[in-house]
Structure formats: structure tokens, C-alpha cells
Amino acid sequence: MITSADNARIKEVIRLNTKSKERRERGLFVAEGRKLFLETPDDLKEQIFVSSSFAVREQELLRDYRYEVVDDRLFVKMCDTQTPQGILTVARMPHYRREELLQGTDAPLLLLLEDLQDPGNIGTILRTAEAAGVSGVFLSGRCADPFQPKVIRATMGSVFRVPFCVEQDLCSTAAWLREKQIRLYAAALEGSESFFCNSYTEACAFLIGNEGSGLSPALVKSADQCVRIPMSGRVESLNAAVAAAVFLYEAKRQRK
């Protein structure tokens, strides 16, 4: 049992939880909790840590795995959550080439996320993307780190199943997608018509912008069409994750 906070493996987990640079350089991240342990593919599991009490009560779950047992009080310090469940997995990051996000269907359904800063939004969007049958998600380099703990928890495991790429120049990505005959719809308040007026049964992508400032003018210009979600009352805009869900489920409805 690990009982010292000076243990090198304990320090490594804490760095992976708190420092995006450490995650990028190591190609590793932390997935906390029982569900994420079960959702992490075995070939991506790098290390497994469990609290001493978890090891006693979950012997059947751990039977086929190598793991490190950590003193209960020390395990809490390793975790990002206030009430940890007793197990965390150090996992290798899944990697995808942009071409892989277009494979498997003649009519890809894609998302482009520009500069989203809220980890909960990014995680929720990835989870919603899986539920709606999205082919892949492109994130700008200025989005919140998709492998930080809050994002991982919000995905509820979808981070392992939804192909996504981080792109430094999203305008270049948009141009590449248009070359692939994928129609781009920019979610913008200045959209000329309701997005309900279009058909999304062919290959298409929705562009979702920053929570405060929306899409940049350059990315809006790269789209084929600006669309808006019709709203009643005095509401001017929706949360980014909610807006993404509305767009994706209309596309899913049409395709079914």
C-alpha cells in the first residue's frame, strides 16, 4: 500500500490532474470514478489506483487488473473531486487524424467548436455528439483542454468513443471540409433564417462559437450559411452545449 505523499507515482497523478502541459507531454490523463474505469478501453489503461477501502469491497471488479492500493486519506489528495469513489485510471489519450472523422458514412455530421472555455460545455457536447450520432468534433486550439478532469467527467465515457481533433487554425479546417463537399452552417445571432428551414440529411457541419463572444468573423465568413435558433421572449442566446444539442437533434431527426 502507498502511504506517502512523496511517492513519485502519487505526484505524477496530481500533476496530470492539474497541469495541461504535463498531460500533453506524457500523452496521459486521469479518468476518475468507477464508471470511467469501466468505460476506459483496456488497451488505453496505463495505471489503476484504488483506495484501500475500495480494494476490499470491489475485489471482483479488480480481479483481472494490476493496480496500486493507496491509503484512503492519501487517495483523496490524488483526486480532483471532493468525494472520490475510490478508483482512478491513468489513461493514454486517444488520437485521431482529421480524415478519420469523415470515415464510416457517406454523409458525415460534424461539429466545429471555436474557443469554448467552459469544460462542462465541452464534455457535455462530446456526450451529446455521441448520442446524436456525430461523426467527429473539431476543437480550436484555444478551447479548454479536452483532457482536463472536468471535461472527462462530463463526457461520461464518450471521450473514448467520439473521434475529435484539436486544430490550431479552424478556418483552414473549414476550408478543407468545404473541399470535401461538406456544407458548413455557422450558428450566429445574425443568421438570416431559422435553422429549421434547411435540410441536414447530406454531409454537413455546425460551427459553435465561444460562450461570450460567439464565432469569430473569419470563421463565420468561411461558412456556407449562417443560421439561428428561433427564440421567444427576451432571450438572446442559448448555452453553447444546449445550442449544439438543438442543432444535432434536428439533423438526427431528419436523418431518421
Regarding whether 124 and 81 lie in a shared domain, the answer is no
Which CATH number fits the domain that encloses residue 21? 3.30.1330.30
For the stretch 12-27, pLDDT in tens is 999 999 999 999 999 9
- Domain residues for the domain of 61 are 8-92
Note whether residue 143 is domain-resident.
Answer: yes
pLDDT per residue, tens digit, the chain (256 aa), is 999 999 999 999 999 999 999 999 999 999 999 999 999 999 999 999 999 999 999 999 999 999 999 999 999 999 999 999 999 999 999 999 999 999 999 999 999 999 999 999 999 999 999 999 999 999 999 999 999 999 999 999 999 999 999 999 999 999 999 999 999 999 987 766 899 999 999 999 999 999 999 999 999 999 999 999 998 998 888 999 999 999 999 999 999 9
CB 115 within 8 A of CB 141: no
Q: How far apart are CA 94 and CA 79, in angstroms?
A: 22
CB neighbour class for 247 (10 Å; exposed up to 12, middle 13-18, buried from 19) = buried
- Cell (9 digits) for 155: 463526457
Regarding whether 251 and 195 lie in a shared domain, the answer is yes
Q: How far apart are CA 52 and CA 137, in angstroms?
A: 39
Nearest of 55, 74, 54 to residue 13 by alpha carbon? 74
Please count the structural domains in the chain: 2
Note whether residue 2 is domain-resident.
Answer: no
Regarding whether 104 and 88 lie in a shared domain, the answer is no
Regarding whether 108 and 33 lie in a shared domain, the answer is no
Regarding whether 80 and 106 lie in a shared domain, the answer is no
Regarding whether 69 and 184 lie in a shared domain, the answer is no
Residue 94, φ and ψ in degrees, nearest 5: -70, 145
Q: How far apart are CA 154 and CA 92, in angstroms?
A: 18
Regarding whether 245 and 121 lie in a shared domain, the answer is yes
